[in-house]
Amino acid sequence: MPPRSPSRLVGQPLLYAISVFASLGVFLFGYDQGVMSGVITGPHFRKYFNEPGPVEVGTMVAVLEIGAFVTSVAAGQVGDILGRRGTLFSGAVVFAIGGAIQTFTPGFWVMVLGRIISGLGVGLLSTIVPIYQSEISPPNHRGALACMEFTGNIFGYASSVWIDYFCSFIDSDLAWRIPLFIQCVIGAILAAGSLVMPESPRWLIDVDRDEEGMRVISDLHGGDPEDLLAKAEFQEIKDRVMFERESGEGRTYVNMWKRYKRRVLLAMSSQAFAQLNGINVISYYAPRVFEEAGWIGRDAILMTGINSIIYILSTLPPWVLVDRWGRRVILLSGAVIMAVALGFTGWWMYIDVPETPKAVVFCVIIFNAAFGYSWGPIPWLYPPEIMPLTVRAKGVSLSTATNWAFNFLVGWMTPLLQEVIEWRLYPMHGFFCVCSFILVYFLYPETKGVPLEEMDAVFGEEELEEQLEDEASERGSLLSQQSNRSRRGHLHLERDIVKALRIAYPSVERPTLVQRRFIHAILSGKDVLLRDRTGTGKSFALALALLAQQDRSAHKNLVTSAQMPSITSLLLVPHRDLAYQFFHWIERIHQHMTRPPPLPSIAQILVRDSTVPLMEHLAPIRQTPPRILIATPQAVFDAVEADPGVLPLDRLSTVVVDEVDCLIQSVPKYPDKYAMKKLERQIRRHPGPTRLLLNRIYSIPEVNPKDRPRWKAPRVDDRRRNDTLRKAPQLVMMSATLRNHLKGYLLGDSGWFTKESGNLVRITGDPSSHHPKEVESSASFEDRADMTVGGTDVQHHVLVVSEGGGIANIKGAANATAASEHPRPSTPSREEPTETSPPSELAQAPATASEEADNPSPFNPSSMEATATAFALDVPSVGMLVLPSDAPVHRAVYDLRLLGVNAHPLDVVKDENGRMHLMRRDLESMSENPTLLVSTLASTRGLDLPELSHVFILGILDGGAVDAYLHVAGRVGRFGRGGCVISVLADEHEVVKEDGKRSRRDEPRMMGTMLKKMGIRPVKLEHFE
């Protein structure tokens, strides 16, 4: 991207400049509202139009709303086609043309035509300006900027009133033509300015103009194209756009109404009550109101002008309050004050005493001030906030059209009602204020500080209820049994399980917010899609939920009580160690339960093992079917192929896929469409065992018949088809890294998840670097970085080994003292080893040790020495070395043992190789002989070893994929503890590819790029400075 001129506006100055200039659009709206209030009472105007009656006056005033209504409905389509800036320009030009027709009108009907044309422009402007404003604003300033925009609207209204007042001293038709002509001038200025304003970045990205969108985002973040927050925000918006496309979400009004009916109704109601609450009785007819109260002629306009100044001042407090108090508090308090003020206005007019004129002015001023701080700005802020990007323009256009429809109704009826029901008009609008209070109190959710891309979580009714319940019990313990329920705590866990949990894992005190929501959703029988960062206890919560889950058999209509028990929950995991981890957790809780059923009837494991025939694996399952089967997908697939009866998939009530992004491949968005199609064909030819199993369970037909499994799928209603035979199993999928292309496939094309409203819960955990707006106020750069990998005290180190054997920290690493506010795991000092002779454990090396000694090592000896040295100096108890997927684990163990390291291949079946470290109680204890567990990337995902304090990564994993690093680094920082991630890389060197060609491989540069994407700055490891 070419360098930009430093003289241009960027960052906050640009943001506020855009807001101020865009406010000219609503300034015109406000000006047009107020200008007629003074014009229609002028003697020259009334004479020119032959003393118009209430109907003629109401028509000239209110007909503008007809034009505004028409274009506000169409503005959604126009805004999506022309863009936000193009629509702004069009609205300004049309408004200026209408103003010119009004200024030079020869009579009543031409005036009406000019008002309609101006209304067409106002409809476009009043719809597109709030959308534009919301899409460029950060969430923590969005409310303030929208309120500034409304202040522009009221400033336009006040300006028109004072211009009317001063022009009333002109003794000719210019007294009303000049105020109308000023509309043309302001419209021309706005049209010209819209040509130089930046387009909305969200709209640019939505129409695939990514480079322009990124440029605007970088300007809003300070002008640096490499700014990490700007890049993360761009990716967040892009991911959301791609997810909405891949999920097949339509952009029509019909689809919007079906999917977002609640949001649409709330948006429309906010604008309807903004008018029904009575503001335009004052805005359009304030001089007439004051005349009713006893202020005559120019004095009525003067009182209107004074009222307008106070009106402007009342719009200033929301600049500060809206993002502190929130939207609800402001709307509720405003409705109360307005209702009281309108009630007293009617009362003073009814009693008609000498104090009435002053009292009415006071009441009107109080009413206007209350409206200006509440129901004035918030209904313009709320609709674009709550509507999703795909239908935002259309949703806001409907809400704005509602405003203009009720605007017309109020504007046209007021002159008549002032004559027919007189003082009762004001209490009538006070009643509507009471109705608006009730509506907001019971139905409006709070949106303060919520990013636009995260608004779905606010309006997911089931998730919202769960979240509110969770927050209310945030201080309660997971083990609390103070519930009024007879047998269950607030997480619906059986007393026996809670008691066993207390004994088995005394360090577990209370659940996280995500754990509570997760357990509640599973036990409620809902489908769940969970994405949360590593180290938050997702897997442990899942084990508890499955253990506590009642036998809600999905096949209860097909089986009788006389039949044998069968597997009801199937947990699919990517590798055997993760399967054994889940099993060990359940086993340990089972040991402390009171009179539990035999463990094999609760849970068993099914994994592939070349040393044991498949039928031997299936024998214990056939003999005692477990309620929970923990298995790898290939093992289940082989078992179903060999003996479908032993694993009756049609009797499952719950299916769980852990590490779903590892088990199910989807097609990401590539610039190269050919590459995408090639990958699609590859997936169709080789769908993988997980896809085949899920298609079998949920009866999803394969696209290509020859790719189908050999067994035949039974009929399933899946809760989304006809309810003829049986209900489909509950589906739970989870991962720490769930990209939107995969999420879109899972929720859309796969057909596995329920489509039934309210039965799918999507849970997203704490903010990460992919949600920068939620964390941009963090205390430091490292805070934001660490949020992506679990703990807040995780430090990242990168060691570079030169060809000569030298070891140094990567260039650009921060000094250790600079990161001191994130303390390292406490490690008592340990003398540096002086001997590198093989330890006694070498005798226990694998049986192939003699063969290893005879063959050259594939590992860089300097890299292994750097790992051994850092391990000896820094690790108090347990560390883990993660190798590339094709690296020989046993050879690495052999080489490390030669260097004096107590290394073992990771295997959670064996105590010394990992099992003893699962959920240990004494997490802070020191070991005289620390253990280094060696594994590959494939066998590391999902493991919870809380005692683990250090992860070593040898080389670049998975070609530098961010997700691979996140999953490996996430092995530390678990259960609220800190940790270190130490990558050991070879300096730039020459490699020989499979085709014999030579190339340079720069691992430090690859690592630097990857860490920069995640917002992580490495810290120097002090031993190698």
Identify the residue whose tokens are 């307008």.
Answer: 308
Burial class of 595 by CB neighbour count within 10 A (0 to 12, 13 to 18, 19+): exposed
- The DSSP secondary structure of 960-1023, one letter per residue, reads G-HHHHHHHHTTSS-TT--EEEEEEEEPSEEEE-TTS-EEEE-HHHHHHHHHHHHT---B--GG
541-580 burial, b at 16+ Cβ within 10 Å, e below that, comes to: bbbbbbbbbeeebbbeeeeeeeeeebbbbbbbbbbbbbbb
* Per-residue pLDDT tens digits for 900-912: 888 888 876 655 5
Burial class of 617 by CB neighbour count within 10 A (0 to 12, 13 to 18, 19+): buried
Task: Quote the percentage of the chain above a pLDDT of 70.
Answer: 76
* Per-residue pLDDT tens digits for 572-581: 998 888 888 8
**What pLDDT is stored for residue 927 in this prediction?**
63
- Tell me: pLDDT of 923 over 50: no
First to last CA, the chain: 36
Q: Is there a domain that residue 770 lies in?
A: no
Q: Mean per-residue pLDDT for 787-796?
A: 58
Q: Is there a domain that residue 465 lies in?
A: no
| Cα 93 to Cα 97: distance, rounded to the nearest angstrom | 6
| Cα 784 to Cα 807: distance, rounded to the nearest angstrom | 28
Q: Is there a domain that residue 3 lies in?
A: no
The 3-state DSSP class for residue 524 equals: coil
Residue 789: band (very low, low, confident or very high) from pLDDT cuts 50, 70, 90: very low
Tokens for 317? 């407090």
Residues β-bridged to residue 429: none
Asked whether residue 169 falls in the same domain as residue 251, the answer is yes
Closest CA relative to residue 612, chosen from 574, 584, 576: 576
Closest CA relative to residue 304, chosen from 59, 29, 52, 34: 34
| Of 1-5, 183-187, 616-620, the least confident | 1-5
Identify the residue whose tokens are 């660490």.
Answer: 786
| Cα 874 to Cα 881: distance, rounded to the nearest angstrom | 14
**What pLDDT is stored for residue 437 in this prediction?**
94
Measured from the Cβ of residue 533, the count of other Cβ atoms closer than 10 Å reads 23
- Tell me: pLDDT of 327 over 70: yes
Q: Is there a domain that residue 796 lies in?
A: yes
Closest CA relative to residue 892, chosen from 832, 955, 950: 955
Burial class of 856 by CB neighbour count within 10 A (0 to 12, 13 to 18, 19+): exposed
Asked whether residue 426 falls in the same domain as residue 544, the answer is no
392 or 454: whose pLDDT is higher? 392
- How far from 871 is each of 27, 355, 881, CA to CA, in Å? 66, 87, 10
Residue 331: band (very low, low, confident or very high) from pLDDT cuts 50, 70, 90: very high
Q: Is there a domain that residue 285 lies in?
A: yes
**What pLDDT is stored for residue 119 in this prediction?**
86
Identify the residue whose tokens are 């009182």.
Answer: 303
Contact 506, 711 (CB under 8 A): no
**Where in the sequence is the domain holding 273, given as residue range(s)?**
11-456
873 or 507: whose pLDDT is higher? 873
| Cα 832 to Cα 513: distance, rounded to the nearest angstrom | 43
**What pLDDT is stored for residue 431 in this prediction?**
94
**What pLDDT is stored for residue 409 in this prediction?**
83
Closest CA relative to residue 971, chosen from 931, 1010, 944: 944
Q: At what angle do helices 228-246 and 210-220 cross, to 10 degrees?
A: 140
Average pLDDT for the chain: 76
Tokens for 408? 């017309």
201-224 burial, b at 16+ Cβ within 10 Å, e below that, comes to: bbbbbbeebeeebbbbbbbbbebe
Find the radius of gyration of the CA atoms of the chain: 34
Tokens for 426? 């004001």
Residue 561: band (very low, low, confident or very high) from pLDDT cuts 50, 70, 90: very low
The 3-state DSSP class for residue 494 equals: strand
Contact 233, 772 (CB under 8 A): yes
Q: What angle do CA 765, 923, 833 make, to 5 degrees?
A: 120
Asked whether residue 635 falls in the same domain as residue 704, the answer is yes
- E strand or H helix that includes residue 305: helix 298-314
> Which amino acid, residue 262?
R
Asked whether residue 251 falls in the same domain as residue 162, the answer is yes
Closest CA relative to residue 396, chosen from 121, 681, 62, 128: 128
Tokens for 585? 């957790």
| Cα 627 to Cα 631: distance, rounded to the nearest angstrom | 13
* Per-residue pLDDT tens digits for 476-521: 334 333 333 333 344 556 777 777 887 777 766 667 767 777 888 8
Identify the residue whose tokens are 């030669």.
Answer: 898
> Which amino acid, residue 498?
V
| Cα 716 to Cα 436: distance, rounded to the nearest angstrom | 46
* Per-residue pLDDT tens digits for 513-545: 677 778 888 888 888 988 877 767 788 888 888
Residue 560: band (very low, low, confident or very high) from pLDDT cuts 50, 70, 90: very low
Q: Mean per-residue pLDDT for 211-223?
A: 85
Mode of pairing for the β-strands spanning 989-992 and 948-954: unpaired
Residues β-bridged to residue 999: 991
Q: Residue 217: phi, psi to the nearest 5?
A: -60, -45
Residue 332: band (very low, low, confident or very high) from pLDDT cuts 50, 70, 90: very high
- Tell me: pLDDT of 464 over 50: no
**What pLDDT is stored for residue 339 in this prediction?**
93
**What pLDDT is stored for residue 6 in this prediction?**
41
Distance of CA 663 to the CA centre of its chain: 24
Closest CA relative to residue 732, chosen from 587, 588, 628, 625: 628
Q: Mean per-residue pLDDT for 281-308?
A: 67
Q: Is there a domain that residue 785 lies in?
A: no
- How far from 325 is each of 339, 680, 750, CA to CA, in Å? 21, 50, 43
> Which amino acid, residue 125?
L
**What pLDDT is stored for residue 782 in this prediction?**
30
Asked whether residue 975 falls in the same domain as residue 934, the answer is yes
Closest CA relative to residue 412, chosen from 696, 77, 64, 735: 64
Tokens for 238? 């892009």
Asked whether residue 751 falls in the same domain as residue 814, the answer is no
DSSP 8-state secondary structure symbol assigned to residue 699? T
Closest CA relative to residue 390, chosen from 259, 270, 265: 259
* Per-residue pLDDT tens digits for 341-391: 999 988 988 888 888 877 887 888 898 889 988 988 888 788 888 888 677
> Which amino acid, residue 314?
S
CA atoms within 13 A on the CB side of 820: 4
Closest CA relative to residue 293, chosen from 230, 363, 224, 240: 363
| Of 657-666, 735-744, 877-886, the least confident | 735-744
**What pLDDT is stored for residue 434 in this prediction?**
94
* Per-residue pLDDT tens digits for 982-1023: 999 888 888 777 667 777 888 888 888 888 877 788 888 877
Count structural domains, the chain.
Answer: 3
Residue 844: band (very low, low, confident or very high) from pLDDT cuts 50, 70, 90: very low
439 or 644: whose pLDDT is higher? 439
Tokens for 127? 């719809």
| Cα 347 to Cα 360: distance, rounded to the nearest angstrom | 9
* Per-residue pLDDT tens digits for 38-69: 788 788 888 888 888 877 887 887 788 788 88
**What pLDDT is stored for residue 570 in this prediction?**
93
Q: Mean per-residue pLDDT for 660-670?
A: 79
Closest CA relative to residue 163, chosen from 140, 186, 144, 142: 186
Closest CA relative to residue 963, chosen from 670, 667, 737: 737
Contact 986, 860 (CB under 8 A): yes
Report the CATH number at residue 140. Answer: 1.20.1250.20
| Cα 74 to Cα 82: distance, rounded to the nearest angstrom | 12
Asked whether residue 855 falls in the same domain as residue 744, the answer is no
Q: Is there a domain that residue 278 lies in?
A: yes
Asked whether residue 523 falls in the same domain as residue 452, the answer is no
953-974 burial, b at 16+ Cβ within 10 Å, e below that, comes to: bbbbbeeeebbbbbbbbbbbbb
Asked whether residue 447 falls in the same domain as residue 585, the answer is no
Contact 934, 903 (CB under 8 A): yes
| Cα 1002 to Cα 1010: distance, rounded to the nearest angstrom | 13
Asked whether residue 841 falls in the same domain as residue 894, the answer is yes
The 3-state DSSP class for residue 430 equals: helix
Closest CA relative to residue 764, chosen from 944, 513, 522: 513
Q: Mean per-residue pLDDT for 951-963?
A: 82
Predicted TM-score (pTM) of the model is 0.49
**What pLDDT is stored for residue 680 in this prediction?**
79
Q: Is there a domain that residue 2 lies in?
A: no
**What pLDDT is stored for residue 436 in this prediction?**
93
| Cα 312 to Cα 847: distance, rounded to the nearest angstrom | 85
90 or 566: whose pLDDT is higher? 90
Tokens for 104? 């030079």
Asked whether residue 18 falls in the same domain as residue 67, the answer is yes
Tokens for 290? 């004051």
Q: Which residue among 747, 764, 781 closes a domain?
A: 764
Asked whether residue 620 falls in the same domain as residue 520, the answer is yes
296 or 605: whose pLDDT is higher? 605
Report the CATH number at residue 517. Answer: 3.40.50.300
Burial class of 613 by CB neighbour count within 10 A (0 to 12, 13 to 18, 19+): exposed
Q: What angle do CA 212, 216, 221 make, to 5 degrees?
A: 145
Residues 6 or more apart whose CB falls under 8 angstroms from that of 226 comprise none
Closest CA relative to residue 78, chosen from 8, 127, 27, 41: 127
